[in-house]
Amino acid sequence: MAYFAVIGLGRFGTTTSRELMHLGNEVLGIDTDPRAIEPLADRLTHTVIADATDERALKELNLQSCDGIVVAIGEDLRASLLCTLNLINMGITSVWVKAGDSSHHAILSKLGVKNIVHPEEEMGIRVAQSLNYPMVNSYIGLGHYTFLVDVHFTGAVTNKTLASITKRAKDEVRVVLIKRDSHIEYSPAPDFVLEYGDHMVLVGTREALTKLSPVLK
């Protein structure tokens, strides 16, 4: 079990803190506004009304013992930056900061923050990707335009072999596994026959994966 702090309990901070609890961690929620704290008082391990721009107030919260801190103050640029600066001055390095826009991102980057998140943009990209590639259930970007993709088969591929599905991108994609109900077939053979409802996890560049999209529907 790990211990996290979430500063700013708006929509993003609330969702993050609740999910961290759901995953079995301890969470300290911090906000200046009692109305933001109130709905979470019974759901998080601790909640505190405090102003994160005030370094002395933050120092009293023993944040050094946290495994990670999320700064989820999106709208108020000044408050987000001062809070982040305070955490850096306290020697805390494991910090995730929500950025509202590109100038916010640029300043955070200059401050040396490694984990800058853009929830709206990232979700927008995901929604667009799901609309564009409806068969892609979920994916992880691995950098350099390489993706790990979970494809859920619901139609035309049924009773076709894996080789016939992947031949368009032959050596450029690697099928990691096929999941059928609770059974997992690791590194499936080329003659593996696909069925309705199978999940296929594959890895490749965006370009190579796109070659497969006509046959994956």
For position 29 contacting ligand ADP by CB under 6 A, the verdict is: no
User: What single string gives the DSSP state of each residue in 193-207?
Assistant: BP-TT-EEEEEEEHH
Are the C-beta atoms of residues 27 and 34 closer than 8 Å to each other? no
For residues 116 and 110, what is the distance between their CA atoms, to the nearest angstrom?
Answer: 11
* Out of 6, 7, 149, 162, the residue judged to bind ligand ADP by CB under 6 A: 7
Of 60, 21, 63, the closest CA to residue 40 belongs to 21
- Which one of 46-54, 124-132, 177-185, 195-203 is the stretch in contact with ligand ADP (CB under 6 A)? 46-54
Q: Does 76 bind ligand ADP (CB under 6 A)?
A: yes
* Contact between 75 and ligand ADP per CB under 6 A: yes
Should residue 32 be labelled a site residue for ligand ADP when binding is judged by CB under 6 A? yes
**Does residue 54 contact residue 32 with C-beta atoms inside 8 Å?**
no
C-beta separation of 210 from 167 below 8 A: no
User: What is the SS3 assignment for 90?
Assistant: coil
H/E stretch holding 77:
helix 77-89
The smaller minimum CB distance to ligand ADP, of residues 51 and 185, is found at 51
3-state secondary structure of 134: coil
Smallest gap from residue 123 Cβ to ligand ADP (A):
12
By CB under 6 A, residue 59 contacts ligand ADP: no
- End-to-end Cα, the chain, rounded Å: 41
Contact characters 151-190, ligand ADP, x per CB under 6 A:
----------------------------------------
Task: Give the whole-angstrom CA distance, residue 147 versus residue 172.
Answer: 12
The span of 47-55, 102-110, 131-139, 183-191 binding ligand ADP (CB under 6 A) equals 47-55
Choices 6-14, 125-133, 186-194, 196-204; region in contact with ligand ADP by CB under 6 A = 6-14
Q: Which of residues 99-158 bind ligand ADP (CB under 6 A)?
A: none
Binding site for ligand ADP (CB under 6 A): 7-13, 30-33, 36, 51-53, 72-76, 79
